[in-house]
Amino acid sequence: MKIGRSGVGAYRMAILGRESHAGLEPEQGASAIRELAQQILWLHSLENRVLGTTINVGVVEGGIRPNVVAGSAQALIDIRVRTQKERDRIEQLL
């Protein structure tokens, strides 16, 4: 039995970095995974459970090998809101 409804938004966040060999030239790389991790933490700071706003990053993918600084990464995100005002707030911040 449902007692309410939430608006839902499905998002994909894609980050491009710069690949390099993690052992030989790590300074030449820019890790897309590291940046995505920071963005995920920021996304979660937007949650407001009191108002019913929830954010779930359900899928994270990135990199090609452990010894390569990741050149790309992505996350699939589910955002739920209860009010139009909250939807507008989230949309503006994204």
Provide the 3-class DSSP secondary structure of residue 38.
Answer: helix
pLDDT, mean of residues 81-94: 91
In tens, the pLDDT along 30-59 reads: 999 999 999 999 999 999 999 999 999 999
Sequence-distant (6+) residues with CB within 8 A of 25 are none
Beta strand ranges found along 1-94 (DSSP E): 7-16, 20-21, 54-62, 68-69, 72-81
Domain ranges in the chain are 7-93
Of the candidates 65, 18, 58, 61, which has an alpha carbon nearest to the alpha carbon of residue 36?
61
d(CA 5, CA 21): 48
pLDDT, mean of residues 62-67: 97
Whether CATH 3.50.30.30 fits 7-93: no
In tens, the pLDDT along 10-34 reads: 999 999 999 999 999 999 999 999 9
pLDDT computed for residue 17 by the predictor: 98
